[in-house]
Structure 1
Amino acid sequence: MTRLIIWRHGNTDWNAAGRVQGQTDVPLNDLGRSQAATAARLIAGLEPSAIYSSDLLRARHTADALATLVKLPVTEDPRLRERHYGLFQGLTDPEIAEAHPEAFARWRGGDPDVGAEVERNDDVGKRVGESLREIAERHPGEVVVVATHGGAARQGFGDVLGWPSDVMSAIRPLQNCHWTELVDTPNRGWQLRAHNVGPWPEKAIPAPV
């Protein structure tokens, strides 16, 4: 049985300020580094055999916290980057609502085609899902950790499971340094085994942006 641990990065200053990050390369803050170190100790107990990461700093540094413990290299894949949020990147919700009211309403309403140069959810799912499937094919029967981002993780695992992108809006996004587990079994194929798993009660972590 192949297991994919799809792990969201730790907290950043933009998370704390409620700013949309997208593919802006924002590093972890002190809280994020602490979260990564704590979560890494739990994930190390799963005995992963490989670690992959988005090439954005917040994901890569999260992956590095685990790599240090389990003495494994980290392989970067830019397909694991967060959704590109176009004109929303760097803005807070009130700023987006003022500058792009129609696109903001579509986004918050779960429309997969937001406009405002925001990457379509279908496209996010396809690129992340492609990466996840290729990773699994390289490591059959192993536990593999993939450090990525909230939106990318959700759309990516939905693509692997064959779920339409609009269905994924009903799945709560990952909290900082929480993870989703997918398993590939010989008889049943890909299944969702766990979601939003992490070392803290969910209420203790700010909602992702």
Structure 2
Amino acid sequence: MTRLIVWRHGNTDWNAGGRVQGQTDVPLNDLGRQQAVDAAELLVKLKPDAIVASDLRRAADTAAALAALTGRSVGHDQRLRERYFGAWQGHTMTEVAALFPDQHARWQAGQEVGGDVESLDDMGKRMAEALLDAAALAPPGGTVVVATHGAVARQGVGHLLGWRLEQLRTLRALQNCHWIELTRDDKRGWQLAAYNVGPFSERPVPPPV
């Protein structure tokens, strides 16, 4: 049975400020780096055979925390990047609602946003393809960890499982440095084994010295 771990990156200052990141290359903050270490200490117990990450720093640096414990190198795949949010990127959702009210209303309803925001279908397809290629790196019965982003993780997993958008909306947003576990065997294909798994508590960020 192949196991695929789809892991969201750690916290960033834009996460903390409620800003839309999309494909803007925002780095981890102190909390995010600690979250990556805490999560890696759990994921290393799964003995991953391969680690693949989005090339955006917040995901790549999250994966690096696990690589440091396993001794494995990290492969990078642009298809694992977050959804492209176009003109929304850099704005808070309050600002998005004011600047793009029609698009924001469609987003809240789970519909295609339009404009220059990447479509749900395009995002799901490219992410599912990247996940399948990552899974192929594992030997039979092996484990692959993929470090990626929240929106694209949920959409890509849903596409891989063949879920309708209505089903996918029943899943809560993936928390920073939490992950989805998928398994695959010849009889059942891909199955969701666990969702939003991660460290039980967040360590406080130490004050600057």
Indicate the TM-score class for this superposition, using the shorter chain for normalisation.
over 0.9
CA distance in 1, matches of 2:4, 2:72: 16
2:123 — aligned with what?
124
Matches within 5 A, 1:48-63: 48-63=48-63
CA distance in 2, matches of 1:192, 1:129: 14
Greater mean alpha carbon deviation, residues 154-163 or residues 132-141: 132-141
CA distance in 1, matches of 2:78, 2:198: 25
- Which ranges of 4 or more aligned residues in structure 1 deviate by more than 3 Å? none
CA distance in 2, matches of 1:84, 1:201: 30
2:172 — aligned with what?
172
Instruction: State the AA in 2 paired with 1:114.
Output: V
Greater mean alpha carbon deviation, residues 167-176 or residues 81-90: 167-176
2:71 — aligned with what?
71
Instruction: State the AA in 2 paired with 1:132.
Output: L
2:133 — aligned with what?
134
Identity over aligned pairs, percent: 59
Secondary structure class of the residue paired with 2:34: helix
Secondary structure class of the residue paired with 1:170: coil
CA distance in 2, matches of 1:20, 1:200: 26
2:205 — aligned with what?
none
For this pair of structures, how many residues does the alignment match? 202
Greater mean alpha carbon deviation, residues 4-13 or residues 129-138: 129-138
CA distance in 2, matches of 1:105, 1:60: 32
Matches within 5 A, 1:98-113: 98-111=98-111, 113=112
1:14 — aligned with what?
14
Give the CA deviation at 1:201.
5.6
Greater mean alpha carbon deviation, residues 135-144 or residues 64-73: 135-144
CA distance in 1, matches of 2:32, 2:155: 23
Secondary structure class of the residue paired with 2:69: helix
1:206 — aligned with what?
none
RMSD (Å), alpha carbons:
1.4
CA distance in 2, matches of 1:179, 1:34: 16
| TM-score of the two chains, using structure 1 as the length reference | 0.93
CA distance in 2, matches of 1:183, 1:78: 23
Instruction: State the AA in 1 paired with 2:190.
Output: W
2:181 — aligned with what?
181
Instruction: State the AA in 1 paired with 2:116.
Output: E
Go from structure 1 to structure 2 and tell me whether the alpha carbon gap of 1:109 and 1:201 turns closer, same or farther (over 3 Å shift).
Answer: farther
8 Å Cα contact 2:50/2:137 also seen in 1: no
Gapped runs of 5+ residues in structure 2? 203-209
2:207 — aligned with what?
none
8 Å Cα contact 1:158/1:164 also seen in 2: yes
| TM-score of the two chains, using structure 2 as the length reference | 0.93
Give the CA deviation at 1:166.
4.4
